[in-house]
Structure 1
Amino acid sequence: MNTKPFTSGLGENAVLITRVAERQWHALDDDLVVGRGHAGHRPDGRLFVSVDAWHGAVFDRLAEAMLAELPSPLYTVVDEADVELTAGWRRAGFTVRRREWEYVVPTDPRVTGLGAVLPPVGVTIVPAGQADERLLRAADRAIRDEVEAAVGWQSMPAEVVHLPAGDTIGDPSKYAVAAAPDRYLGLIRVVTAIRPRIGLVAVRAGDRRRGIARALLAHALGAQHRCGFAAAWTEVHESNRAASALFEGVGARPVSSNLELVR
């Protein structure tokens, strides 16, 4: 742990920037926590930082302390509508790397038009929780390798789930899959907490343009509709026109955007 004082104008005492753990910092004003900073690795190995502070001056000093002690490059994600937070990271030397659109996706098949959608001949949809974990992990690895060889996995939506090193699946029960007799051709991950979030829809390169992604989406949205959810949410990289077309084609609409910044 280390402590660095600075005068903030918040009170008579100096505000102290304290590294309270390996990747956590606190800003203290007369023993009151007035800001927190955190750093953590995502599953792809990149290091993301965040700061939550009551005042711009505290934000700047927390960011300064963190950046002085962390390796580069560093990343962060902000709501594009949060002008103040975005400005704070820009003052710290961060620039925009990518933009993701957040979509709200209807689940009612009468709205999406997916009620009659079936997978192609020879393909079946295995519901979430019923997939063979070995085949699921093999399909996930193959798809990731294909994306990495093409546009790079970092073009996919930012993943926020903290997983053990080398584990890209996490909870296999969250995945429904499109199955051929000997392997899985595609997968969809839906996490339901307060609201359902579609974290990933992906199909192996040789099996695209067969309607598999649309069939997976029909299955997942239908399941959420039967559970009583009127809508799901997802994020799409602004350059991923195929994904945008897939979701907009079922009535999804963009409601906000996130910026990924890098320094």
Structure 2
Amino acid sequence: MNTKPYTSDLGEHAVMITRVADRQWHALEDDLVVGRGYAQQRPDGRLFVSVDAWHDDTFDRLAGAMAAHLPAPLYTVVDEADAELTARWRRAGFTSRRREWEYVVPTDPRVTGLDEVLPPAGVTIVPAGQADESLLRAVDRAIREEVEATVGWQSMPAEVVPHPEGDTVVDPSAYAVAATPDRYLGLIRVVIPIRPRIGLLAVRACEQRRGIARALLAHALGTLHRTGFTEAWTEVQESNHAASTLFEGIGARRASSNLELVR
């Protein structure tokens, strides 16, 4: 545990920056916690940091202490509308790496225009909870390898589902898939904790431009609509023009944006 005192502008008392765990720091004033800093390693290996502090000075000290003790590069994600928080991270030496749009997606097929969309000949949609787990893991692995060999998995949404090391399919029941008799061609993951979120929509590279992604989306949104949900949410990287075109083409609207920052 490392402790570092400094004189704060918050008053006459010294504020102590204390490393209370391997990836956790506290800012203490008169033995009261006035700020916290955290670091978490994402499944893709990158180290993301966050700071919870009321005052700028405390935030700056915590961010500086974390940067001094953690290996670079460090990443963080902020709501782009939160100008104050974004400015704090920029003071700490972080710069913009990418932007992610958050979309609100209608589910009503009369609105999306997906009511008559069908998969291509020879392809069927296997509903969520009915996929063969071995084939599901195989297509997930194949798509991840294809992405990693091109744009890199780090280009995928910043908010990812935590999973045990080496396991990228945490809940197989959340996936619907596009299938032929001997293998799966694509998948869509929809998670419904409070509001439905489309966390992943992907098709094998050799099967793209056949309408499979659109058919998977039509199935998932139609299922949500019949269940009573009027909207879903998803995130799309700003540079992913194909995904933006797909979602905007069915009436999805941009609600907000996140910035991934790096130091």
TM-score range, shorter chain: over 0.9
* Deviations 1:73-125, CA, capped at 9 Å, x for gaps: 11111111111111111111111111111100001111111111111111111
**In the alignment, what sits opposite 1:222?**
222
Cα drift, residue 38 of structure 1: 0.8
**In the alignment, what sits opposite 2:117?**
117
Structure 2 spans left out of the alignment, 5+ residues: none
Cα drift, residue 10 of structure 1: 2.2
Cα drift, residue 159 of structure 1: 3.6
SS of the equivalent of 2:222 reads helix
Partner Cα distance (1:177, 1:159) in 2: 22
Partner Cα distance (2:162, 2:25) in 1: 19
Instruction: Give the alignment of 1:194-205 within 5 angstroms.
Output: 194-205=194-205
SS of the equivalent of 1:105 reads strand
**In the alignment, what sits opposite 2:176?**
176
**In the alignment, what sits opposite 2:239?**
239
Cα drift, residue 250 of structure 1: 0.7
SS of the equivalent of 1:84 reads helix
* Deviations 1:158-202, CA, capped at 9 Å, x for gaps: 143221211211111111111111111000111111111111100
Cα drift, residue 36 of structure 1: 1.2
Paired residues in the alignment total 263
**In the alignment, what sits opposite 2:24?**
24
Which stretch has the larger CA shift, 105-114 or 6-15?
A: 6-15
TM-score (norm 2): 0.97
**In the alignment, what sits opposite 2:193?**
193
Cα drift, residue 31 of structure 1: 2.6
SS of the equivalent of 2:44 reads coil
CA contact (8 A) 2:131 2:175 kept: yes
SS of the equivalent of 2:61 reads helix
**In the alignment, what sits opposite 1:162?**
162
User: Which amino acid in structure 2 is aligned with residue 250 of structure 1?
Assistant: I
Partner Cα distance (2:185, 2:159) in 1: 22
Q: In angstroms, what is the RMSD of aligned CA positions?
A: 1.1
CA contact (8 A) 2:9 2:57 kept: no
CA contact (8 A) 1:10 1:29 kept: no
**In the alignment, what sits opposite 2:13?**
13
Partner Cα distance (2:146, 2:49) in 1: 28
Structure 1 spans left out of the alignment, 5+ residues: none
Partner Cα distance (1:102, 1:200) in 2: 13
CA contact (8 A) 1:43 1:167 kept: no
Partner Cα distance (1:21, 1:133) in 2: 37
Which stretch has the larger CA shift, 25-34 or 110-119?
A: 25-34
Cα drift, residue 252 of structure 1: 0.2
**In the alignment, what sits opposite 1:99?**
99
Runs of 4+ in structure 1 deviating by more than 6 angstroms, as ranges, are none
Q: Does 1:57 align with 2:35?
A: no
Q: Does 1:259 align with 2:256?
A: no
* Deviations 1:191-235, CA, capped at 9 Å, x for gaps: 111111111100001111111101110111111112221111111
SS of the equivalent of 1:242 reads helix
TM-score (norm 1): 0.97
SS of the equivalent of 1:223 reads helix
User: Which amino acid in structure 1 is aligned with residue 105 of structure 2?
Assistant: V
SS of the equivalent of 1:28 reads strand
